[in-house]
Structure formats: structure tokens, C-alpha cells
Amino acid sequence: MDVYDSVVIGAGQAGLSASYHLERLGIRHVVLDAGPRPGGAWQHRWDSLTMRDVHGVADLPDGPAPGRSADRANRAVPAWFGRYEAEHDLPVRRPVRVRTVTGDGGLLRIDSDAGAWLARTLVNATGTWDRPFVPHYPGVETFRGEQVHTHDYPGPDHFRGKRVLVVGGGASAVQFLGEIGPITDTLWVTRREPVWRDEFDENAGREAVARVLDRVTSGFPPASVVSVTGLALRPQEETAARLGVYDRRRTMFSRVEPDGVRWDDDVRDPARPAFEPVDTILWATGFRPAVTHLAPLHLRSEHGGIPLLPGTADVQTAVTAARDPRVQLVGYGPSASTIGGNRGGRAAALAVRRHLTDRLVRLD
């Protein structure tokens, strides 16, 4: 079987950036992407998310991002990625879903639903979209109503006339409440106090990334960058805010019952009812890194995360798996944002080159 210098898994922002830099460095590679078409996770975002709603999509290297507009994000970003792949002649193969990556002698073997590849190094850029996370609450299996995760958010009209419990303290929960709060009855619960911010400048961004970096270099599962940047209400959420939609229940419910959720006395806010009837639970509870295919490589630490080596003078952000430096993780931890994906892609390409060069020196 042909041996590639590198295989990139995933063609979202992080994978495309990595592929661009690998091309520039003349490193022979292929990008395997499970998506039916270009766009990474953006092709799956809900229809009501416009390019005005997103926090800001960073440019790709040598590929300016579409600006703020009323265009749907699930069309504008995929169209841009598609043009980018073509203009830069990136070697993307799709649809290819990688099932496992295993060590094969000194090489890595990548098995997928469309064949196998051998590579000297791997850049994993699989994002989080494929692993929606729903926390477990006792009794959830008895709930007679509907449960929806952010992953399958059908847009606000679906919720008209229903009583909706929104669970989660991130940007998606804030956006959903802004959309559905004015047209139906909502209730908001979060596990932790949401962190609101007035302003978010570059320094705050750097601090947020530094906190996530700290976690992943110590081997803990990464927190989402957005969870540490804080939340802000945008003009389109002001109507909902005036209606009191963001007045949340301060404690999490203790259990789910067939027709709603219940707080036990020890966690109940005495000013609120112990039971709230709801028709729908909207789990805006985030995602986890989609890295199960890497399990055979045993990259995880005892803390449950994949520890990354700290950045170096050339590889300036943490991307290299501490337990197997052939493997780079981009869009993971500190690089889990569009700007982080860009930087991570460059860092990964440089780390791949360093690994390949060191290997040649060892062979001499």
C-alpha cells in the first residue's frame, strides 16, 4: 500500500488550514472527510443561523472569509470552503469516514468505510459536531415529550405553542432562547452560572485560549473556548431579554419525570415551583471532540483528555499528542475555533515537517 507522509482527517477550517500549509511545505498528503460535500460542520448548522449571528469566522490562509450578512451560514461557509479547496487544489477525498487509526509498525494505518491508508504522520481535524453531548439526568428515559439537541435544532417555528425547557449555558442556548422566547413559553436552566461579558477584546480572547491550553497540556478534557470567553446578548436577542427569557432557574433540576422536571428540596429555589411541566427539552449542552477513532493509539491521560505538548518557537500552539508525536490534533482544545483552527493547521504542518525531518536524520 502507498505510504503518505501525512493523512489529514477532516476538511473543516482546521483540516483545510493544515492541508494548505502541508501543500506549501511540499508534504505529500491526503485529506479524508466524512462530509458529503465541502463545509465541515457549517453545512449542518440550522437554517436560522446567518452570517450576522455567528461570532465571526476567521479567514483561511490566503482565503478571505465571507463577511457579515443575512446569508445563511450553512450555505455561505460551505460555498467558500468549496471554492477554497478548488482554488488551492487541496487533495480532499469524500465521503470517507475514518473508523480507526492504529499503529502499524512505525506507520499509522487509517481504516475507513472507503478503504485504508498508511501514513507516517496524522493530522486529526475532526471537530466536535459528530459527538453531541447530553448529560444524564435520572428519569430522562420516562419523559413523554420531545427531546432535541443543538445538533438537530429545527428552527424556532417548530416550538410554537409548546413549553420548552432550554438546558445549557453557552452561546447556542442564548441564541435559541432569543429565537423561541418571543414566540413560545420557555424556561432556562444551566448547571453553572452563565458568564456574561460587556466587551470581548483580543486580550480576553488570548486569556480564554490560555486557560484551555493549560487544561490540555495537563491532560484534562478541553473546555470549549466559547465557554471561557463569556456570553453577550446581541441586538436580535433584546426582545427576548425584555420578556424575561434570560431569567433562568438558578439550580439544575434533580430529575426528569414523564411530563416535566422536578427539583428536590435541597436544590430548589423556594420562590419557584418544585415541578415544571414541559413539552420539549432542548439540550444546548454542547459537543465533545470526535476522536473515538483514535482510541487504539491510547493517547488519553488518566485525566480523560488527550494531553498535548506545549507550543515551541516554530510550532506556536499546542497540537502535538504528548503520547505519540506523530499525531497532531487541530480544532481540539486551544485551536477549537475558526481562528484557532487556522493557527493549529499551520502549527500541525510545521510539526509534521519536523517529525519527518527528524525521522530522516535518524535513518541516516
Q: How far is the CB of 331 from ligand FAD (least distance, A)?
A: 2
User: Which listed residue (5, 130, 179, 276) binds ligand FAD by CB under 6 A?
Assistant: 130
The yes or no reply on residue 181 touching ligand FAD (CB under 6 A) is: no
Q: In the complex, what is the shortest distance from the CB of residue 144 to ligand FAD, in angstroms, rounded to a whole number?
A: 28
Rounded to the nearest whole angstrom, what is the least distance from the CB of residue 278 to ligand FAD in the complex? 23
Position among 74, 172, 217, 229 found at the interface with ligand FAD (CB under 6 A):
172
CB of 133 or CB of 254, closer to ligand FAD: 133
Q: According to the binding rule CB under 6 A, does residue 179 interact with ligand FAD?
A: no
From candidates 6, 50, 74, 126, binder to ligand FAD by CB under 6 A: 126
Per CB under 6 A, contacts with ligand FAD among 22-61 are 32-35, 40-41, 45, 54-57
Question: Are 65 and 80 contacting, i.e. CB atoms less than 8 angstroms apart?
Answer: yes
H or E stretch at 86: helix 73-87
Q: Which is nearer to ligand FAD, 217 or 337 (CB)?
A: 337
Would you count residue 12 as binding ligand FAD (CB under 6 A)? yes
Q: Find out whether 111 and 118 touch, Cβ atoms under 8 Å.
A: no
Residues 192-231 that bind ligand FAD (CB under 6 A): none
178-181 — which CB contacts under 8 Å span 24+ positions? 178/233, 178/234, 178/236, 178/237, 178/239, 178/240, 178/241, 178/245, 179/48, 179/155, 179/240, 180/156, 180/282, 181/239, 181/240, 181/243, 181/245
Residue whose C-alpha cell reads 481540539 in the numeric block: 332
The cell numbers describing 187, all together, are 424556561
User: Cell 439550580, residue?
Assistant: 251
Q: What is the dihedral angle through the alpha carbons of 189, 194, 198, 204, rounded to the nearest 10 degrees? A: -150
d(CA 341, CA 323): 21
The residues that touch ligand FAD, with contacts defined as CB under 6 A, are 9-15, 32-35, 40-41, 45, 54-57, 96-98, 125-127, 129-130, 172, 290, 293, 331, 336-339, 341
